[in-house]
Amino acid sequence: MPPVIDPDKCNLCGVCDEHCPLDVIYMENEGVDVRYPLECWHCGACRQDCPTGAVDIEFPLIMLGV
């Protein structure tokens, strides 16, 4: 599943937009837009680098070795 942003935790810092290697995420005036969810390859950078823990990702089972 592509990332889901918790607007209550997000401080609009823009790090997820800057660090996403595939430009899936874009900053908008009102918040974070996961604009191209089908392009997400679940690298985890947005979740790892988010300073407030606002990003949640459900990784595909195949990536977890299940």
Alpha carbon distances (Å) from 51 to 17, 59, 62, 65: 13, 20, 27, 27
Q: Which of 1, 4, 8, 11 binds ligand SF4 (CB under 6 A)?
A: 11
Element (H or E) spanning 7, and its range? none
Task: Report d(CA 50, CA 44) in Å as an integer.
Answer: 10
Q: Measured from the CB of residue 14, what is the shortest distance to ligand SF4 in angstroms?
A: 5
Residue 14 engages ligand SF4 in binding (rule: CB under 6 A) = yes
Name the β-bridge partners of 32: 27
Residue 22 engages ligand SF4 in binding (rule: CB under 6 A) = yes
Residues within the interface to ligand SF4 (CB under 6 A): 3, 5, 10-16, 20-22, 24-25, 32, 40-46, 50-52, 54-55, 57
